[in-house]
Structures are given as structure tokens and as C-alpha cells.
Amino acid sequence: MNKILIIEDEEAIAELEKDYLELSGFDVDLEKDGESGLEKALSNDYDLFILDVMLPGIDGFEICQEIRKEKNAPILMVSARKEDIDKIRGLGLGADDYITKPFSPGELVARVKAHLSRYDRIVESLMPDNSIIKIRGLKIDTTSKEVWVNGETKSLTAREYDLLEFFMKHPNQVYSKEDIFRELWNMDAIGDIATVTVHVKKLREKIEVDPAKPQYVETVWGMGYRFKV
Ligand code: CA
């Protein structure tokens, strides 16, 4: 369940917001002044904040800036004053949206839902996706660049790692030394492609039980290499 913090000193508005959001399935906390609101905002995990601008103690602008220094969750600001709205728009406080009073509770709920789903999508897109690749006894983590052979950590140079990741992402395909050189050395294959042979040899020494009889990086005579699945 998504948790929302409302900081609002006007009792009637605060209760209305809370009731509607709870009816829509949100878990809602309410604070009525700036200091306790900011403290609660920073010491708990909320999915979204609704901040009134005019508050006793610390105002909504400052709370917004303080929250934004620590948290990425959406912030909706609420105010009746036109100059506040201009300030929210113009100052780069880190607020995601603003709502002018008076507003309908339905509008508030719709905005909250829109911001939460947008935020969920952003968070999801930042999550490492399928960062582990595992083929038989070989496992790599493409985020941390770690390599395990039969459960044992292996230390590879950056180039050896890149070569292994390339092979594991393109299993069962034959690549010529020129192809590999072009892929990994990031230039047209005008350099010395013998460097590919050298790196394949070093990689085999680290990942193969018997480098002379490779189980993973196979030589395809006259063509190049293939990573066997
Ligand atoms: Ca107020």
C-alpha cells in the first residue's frame, strides 16, 4: 500500500484530503505544522508528499527543498495564492506538481495516482534488469562485473570481462576475430587482430577447466569463435 504524508494546518482541508485518499486505498499520515511535518517526512518512507505552502513553523517551500535533498518521491504543493503558484513553478524547488485551492478531492486523488504511477515507472527503469547471466557453470553480473566459475569468484581484467560478456550475450553464434575486434576495441578492425587471440587465450585460462579443450569458448576453424551453450 502506498504511504502518503500530508502536511496541512487547515483542519477541514486536511481531513478531507485524508478521507478521500484513504477511501482510494492509500495509507495516510497527517501533520499540522512545518517542524513536525518535516521531521516525519525525513524519518519515514513515504511514496508521496502533499504540502500546504502556508504553514506554522517552516513553510511548504522550505519543506519541499529539504525533502528533495533526501528523497525522490513525488511532491505535490497546495496553495490558494497565485504568487505561491508562480514561485512553485519558477523556483525549481523540486516540487512535481501544484494544486490550487479550492480543489475537488477527486482531482487531488487523480493527480496523486498519476504521480505515483509515473514515479513507479521511473524507479522500475532504474532497476538493473537481468543483470545476472548464467550459462552452465559460468555466471556474470553485468552490473558489478563479477565473474563466477562453478561458484568460485574469478578476477578478470576489464578487457577479458568485456570479451566474456560479449560471448555470453551472443551464445552459439560464430564471430570472426575481426568481428570481435570491432565490437570490443571500438574501432574499425585496422588494429592488430592478434590481440583477440591473446585475450581469448587468457580468458580460457581463467574460465575453462582445461584451456586446451575449451568447454565454453570454442574455436571454429577458419571462421572464429563460438560460445557454446
Ligand atoms: Ca495553510
> Domain ranges in the chain?
3-125, 132-227
Q: How many Å lie between the centroid of ligand 1 and the Cα of residue 155?
A: 59
The alpha carbon of 96 and the centre of ligand 1 are apart by a number of angstroms equal to: 19
User: What topology is assigned to 132-227 in CATH?
Assistant: Arc Repressor Mutant, subunit A (1.10.10)
DSSP secondary structure of the chain: --EEEEE---HHHHHHHHHHHHHTT-EEEEE-SHHHHHHHHHHS--SEEEEESS-SSS-HHHHHHHHHHH--S-EEEEES-HHHHHHHHHTT----EEEESS--HHHHHHHHHHHHHHHHHHHHHHSPPS-EEEETTEEEETTTTEEEETTEEE---HHHHHHHHHHHHSTT-EE-HHHHHHHHS-S-TTS-THHHHHHHHHHHHHH-SSTTS-SSEEEETTTEEEE--
Query: What is the reported pLDDT for 227?
Result: 94
CA of 179 to the centre of ligand 1 (A): 65
Q: What is the 3-state secondary structure (H, E, C) of 12-34?
A: HHHHHHHHHHHHCCCEEEEECCH
Question: What is the distance in A from the centroid of ligand 1 to the CA of 37?
Answer: 13
Q: Which amino acid is at 84?
A: D
Ligand 1 mean position, distance from CA 64 (Å): 14
48 Cα–ligand 1 center, Å: 19
**Residue 47 CA, ligand 1 centroid: distance in Å:** 22
Dump pLDDT digits (tens) for 68-102. Answer: 999 989 999 999 888 888 887 767 778 999 999 88
217-220/97-100 β-pairing = unpaired
Q: What is the pLDDT of residue 65?
A: 93
Q: What is the pLDDT along the chain (229 residues), one digit of tens a residue?
A: 899 999 999 999 999 999 999 999 999 999 999 999 999 999 999 999 999 999 999 999 999 999 999 998 999 999 988 888 888 776 777 899 999 988 999 999 999 999 999 888 777 666 666 688 888 889 999 988 999 999 899 999 999 999 999 999 998 889 999 889 888 886 654 567 888 999 999 999 999 999 999 999 999 988 999 998 8
Calculate how far, in angstroms, residue 159's C-alpha sits from the geometric centre of ligand 1: 59
Distance 167 CA to ligand 1 centre (A): 61
53 alpha carbon – ligand 1 mean position (Å): 6
Distance of CA 186 to the CA centre of its chain: 27
In CATH, the number for domain 3-125 is 3.40.50.2300
> How far, in Å, from the CA of 105 to the mean position of ligand 1?
17
How confident is the model at residue 182, as a pLDDT? 86
The confidence score (pLDDT) of residue 91 equals 72
CA 87 to ligand 1 centroid distance, Å? 16
Cβ-proximal residues to 127 (8 Å cutoff; 6+ apart), any chain: none
| Ligand 1 center from residue 57 Cα (angstroms) | 11
